[in-house]
A and B are shown apart, each in its own frame.
Chain A
Amino acid sequence: MLSVKNAARLSLIFLLATLLSGCSARHPIPLPDESRPPIPEQVHPPADARAQAASELIRQARQLLEAWQPDHAINLLERAVNLNPSSGQSYYYLAQAWLMKGDVRQAMEFNSLAEIYVIDDSFWESQVAEQKTQIDHLAANPYE
């Protein structure tokens, strides 16, 4: 004779088995969206030749900025951006150059681009943040 207790046990096992079978045997449902390849993983720009060449230009531009020649520096930094659009330093120094030229709006734009590309680099993150504070201050007090 099957006791009530045993019947309950069996029912529970049956229910669990049913549930598990539902999970394992999936019937494909036609999808409205045709299947597509996965979105490629983010490819981080490697420290490749272009990046190295850009670094060289950035180095030269920094020297020009130190010599207070923002226009010449901008020319080099534009080339650096063309070579390595993911270099946050290029945008940082471009912002710096535009600050030297007194164009706070352009400096702000370049600073915001620098922000995107210095993530994962705490030193440059702090530099860009500091620059942002300076730009915000200048924007708020244009006649200082």
Chain B
Amino acid sequence: MGLFLFYCRKMTLNTTKFKPVILMFLLPSIAGLIFLIIYSLSLSILIETRFSGRRWQIPSTVFSDTTLLYPGQRLYPEFLHEKLARLNYRDVISTPTQKGEMKSTFNGFDIFLYNAQFQTGMREGFPVRIHHQNNIIESIVRLDTGEPIPILELEPEELALFFGPERERRQLVSIQHVPDHFIRAVIAIEDSHFYEHYGISPLGILRAIYMNLRYGKIKQGGSTITQQLAKNYFLTSEKTISRKLKEILIAVILEMKYEKEDILEIYFNEIYFGQKGSESINGVGEASFFYFGKSVDELTLLESAVIAGLIKGPNIYSPYVDPEACKARRNTVLKAMQKEEQLSEEALRSLLAAPVRTAGFRIDPRKAPYFIDYLYKQLHTFYSKEDLSSLGLSIYTTLDTQVQQAAEKALEKGLRRLENARPELNRSQPEKRLQGAIIVIQPKTGYILAMVGGRDYNHSQFNRISQARRQTGSAFKPFVFLSALDQFTPASMFSNAPKSYPTDEGEWIPQNFKPTPDTPVSMRTALAHSHNRATVDLAMQTGLDRIIRIARSFHFSTPISPYPSLALGAFEAIPLELARAYSVFAADGVQPYPLSLKNVTGRNNIILNRRHMQIERLISPAKAFIISSMLQSAIIEGTGRSLARLGVSFPAAGKTGTTNKYRDAWFVGYTPDILALVWVGFDNGDSIYSTGSSAALPIWADLMKAIPQHISETWFQVPPGIVKRKICPASGLLPLKLSCPVVEEEFFLEKNIPDTRCDIHRLRIFRNIIQGIKDVVR
């Protein structure tokens, strides 16, 4: 203790005369040191917080449904080629040898499939030959084994990304999946002493200081990989001394806290690699797909060198921007590798001349934007906006991009045709133009295959399929006729004569669209020809309350009032709900819930949410069949008969609809496989001067002809509870053998078969006797 006091006193005596100097340097140094320690601690906490949580905001990706191909399938080869191009398959002139390549011939495609993740697991890519003839797939064969493939699933198509404000595309990769040659290339060109330094390279910094002093401005950074990571991840890109000091500090802390491999992994996932339109390409995972159409573990040495070379200036050395500059930069990387003894002289020489081959990319216009909006609203019940733009979810949907494209094209073509035929339909303001909407559903499952909510999403985001409420007109009639099936049969006769009905606003006399004889018509004819008077007669005999009850059971959410005009569709419906209601007829009496979302997966393909088809029985299969049969008559002989002229030859059922003053034109048509609803009208309710059969039906026909792969050309199987009987069409009753001049067959519900003979022709036999006597007497 005494010794310690002695030394203290001695030091005090010796430093007395230097005290001011010491104080002048020591105190600020101590203060600076304390500040540095505190600041470093705060930075350390910041780094830890950022790295322990979610490191990146990864947008969620929305995918279409997968596409099935099988021998015997009808399809247009040009549409398949378009589909493959949208899946980033690139045309080559020789047999594909790499994943993502395809070669088209006049009767087939050779495709080297990508690896793909399906719900049942991962599929490794393999070469396959699809042979087609006369628009039919004849065979699908693996090119490597010669094995025939009964059913081939193409990967889902990317539809949209839910970005945050940064609009960064990024696919995270683990360092274990990054090939060694890529790591060596990056280290050789960016930071050859990476494994030796502690975050900063004093020599590099001195060199940078010298260069900066020489040129009188910040010219060179002298950054290590760790410093680059510090700058990109935590700091702005401004070039100031303070920012540089921060960068150094963070780099050192990073090196203290993390292993070199961890730093590399974060760096590879963080770094900016270029631009795809308005979206930035970040991380080597995304870059390898963007530039070479493959996952990072499949990159070759040359490709790795290209990507490594991009770090210095992604938009200067991008092969898509300047292929020559890219090649020169790649060669610089290769030379740096050779200098670091990563490459032999010989290997270098052989590599330098190789061309840069890229996958190519296309910026597609927004795909199915109305569908994406509709989906987004549904997703909001599970995920916040922030989650969707940061969790990197994969959202798989029911959308079929081929059907979607066909629907968009058919709608635009149909609307243009109408505008050309009737100049008064043209509007100068884009937002006031003639509008239309289409929804395509698979009626048995409820899968929404396509949704076109309007003519041009850029001008109007209002989704006329899911948000509009429009009068249905005659498109509602099938529900009126359905309500009558317990009392009446398709052969029952109804009055088609003018008749007055009392309403709150006075007497109402429904009119037929076209002049028709006043003679009674059968239920089948009334629906097929959309006779208004007979429909109202049927509705009044059935009871409006019953019709409303039945309609509500079909999940129409809009109000329905018990006016006689309800029978003619004087109520507003949401088109999606109308399509869903029609699905019941096409699905043996069960109603599917309209499905847009199939499942949501998180990282590592773990399923977070899943949706299956959900069905609910609303009516018997027999009633559904009777309505479908009557709606088939509408196509064969009624308001939809022009379909045959438009080239639709397969069995189908459908109903037109036209509202007062031609404000809305509808056509809802279906087969056992597919159902599509088409609406045409103006948003403000102006007249379109056209009927459902002239405005909406041709659009439906165009759409159906473009998607033969979805149409089996079969008709509904007769379900239990249906019987076929011969009837006299004049009375709708059982025919008299020797008396009824015409006999037809009709379907009946088993419980509701006519049991009486024709009363119109009952006296015919006696009339014939009398006539015979008269003839003999004469």
Contact = CB atoms under 8 A, between A and B. Distances in A.
Given A52-B70, A81-B445, A117-B717, A32 B493 contact: yes
Given A17-B772, A21-B772, A74-B612, A37 B745 contact: no
A130 interface: no
Nearest to A120: B717
B590 interface: yes
Contacts, number: 166
Interface string B732-749: 000000100110111100
Contacts of A48: 72, 712
A29 B442 contact: no
Given A39-B747, A113-B590, A64 B445 contact: no
A56 B714 contact: no
B616 interface: yes
Nearest to A29: B741
Interface in B54-77: 68, 70-73
Contacts of B445: 78, 81-82
B772 A39 contact: no
**Range for the number of chain B residues in contact with chain A:** 35 or more
Interface string B279-303: 0000000000000000000000000
B241 interface: no
For B445, B496, B718, B746, the residue with the greatest tally of chain A CB atoms inside 10 Å of its CB is B445
Interface in A1-57: 14-15, 17-19, 21-23, 26, 28-40, 42-46, 48-50, 52-53, 56-57
A22 to B, nearest CB: 3
Contact of B616 (A56, A78, A79, A109): A109
A106 B20 CA distance: 90
B588 A42 contact: no
Given A50-B72, A72-B120, A119-B720, A106 B772 contact: no
Given A19-B768, A22-B771, A112-B617, A36 B633 contact: yes
A56 B150 contact: yes
Contact of A49 (B71, B517, B633): B71
Interface in B139-178: 150-151
Nearest to B443: A85
A81 to B, nearest CB: 5
Nearest to A30: B519
Interface in B638-665: 651
Contacts of A113: 588, 590, 615
Nearest to B446: A78
A79 B729 contact: no
A20 to B, nearest CB: 9
Given A32-B520, A36-B633, A116-B719, A79 B651 contact: no
Contacts of A82: 442, 444-445, 447, 673
A78 B448 CA distance: 13
B612 A45 contact: no
B636 interface: yes
A84 interface: yes
A86 interface: yes
A2 to B, nearest CB: 16
A45 B712 contact: yes
A92 interface: no
B720 A39 contact: no
B673 A39 contact: no
B137 to A, nearest CB: 8
A110 to B, nearest CB: 7
A22 B769 contact: yes
B772 A116 contact: no
B140 to A, nearest CB: 11
**Range for the number of chain A residues in contact with chain B:** 35 or more
Contacts of B718: 42
Contact of B525 (A33, A50, A74): A33
A86 B619 CA distance: 18
B382 to A, nearest CB: 17
Interface string B563-575: 0000000000000
B598 interface: yes
Contacts of A17: 772, 776
Contact of B119 (A53, A75, A86): A75
Contacts of A64: 120
Contacts of A60: 120
For A35, A37, A86, the residue with the greatest tally of chain B CB atoms inside 10 Å of its CB is A86
Contact of A53 (B150, B613, B775): B150
B372 interface: no
A27 B299 CA distance: 86
Contact of A40 (B590, B613, B715): B715
Contacts of A45: 712, 714, 717
Contacts of B776: 14, 17-18
Contacts of A21: 768, 772, 775
Contacts of B71: 49, 52
Contacts of A23: 738, 768
Interface string B514-533: 00010111101100100000
B621 interface: yes
A83 interface: yes
B448 to A, nearest CB: 12
A38 B745 contact: yes
Interface string B603-633: 0000100101111110001000000010011
Nearest to B775: A21
B73 A71 contact: no
A40 B744 CA distance: 12
Contacts of B590: 109, 113
Contacts of A18: 768-769, 772-773, 776
Contacts of A19: 768-769, 772
Contacts of A49: 70-73
B730 interface: yes
A36 B768 contact: no
B153 to A, nearest CB: 9
For A15, A32, A119, the residue with the greatest tally of chain B CB atoms inside 10 Å of its CB is A32
Given A39-B747, A106-B614, A113-B588, A72 B715 contact: no
Contacts of B720: 115-116, 119
Given A78-B447, A113-B588, A116-B588, A52 B72 contact: yes
A31 to B, nearest CB: 5
The 6 A-B residue pairs whose C-beta atoms are closest, nearest first, are A49-B72, A22-B768, A18-B772, A32-B519, A53-B70, A45-B714
Interface of B: 68, 70-73, 119-120, 150-151, 442-445, 447, 493, 496, 517, 519-522, 524-525, 528, 587-588, 590, 598, 607, 610, 612-617, 621, 629, 632-633, 636-637, 651, 672-673, 712, 714-715, 717-720, 729-730, 738, 741-742, 744-747, 760-761, 765, 767-769, 771-773, 775-776
11 contacts: A29-B761, A31-B729, A34-B525, A36-B633, A49-B72, A52-B72, A78-B445, A78-B612, A82-B442, A82-B444, A86-B672
Interface of A: 14-15, 17-19, 21-23, 26, 28-40, 42-46, 48-50, 52-53, 56-57, 60, 64, 71-72, 74-76, 78-79, 81-86, 106, 109-110, 112-113, 115-117, 119
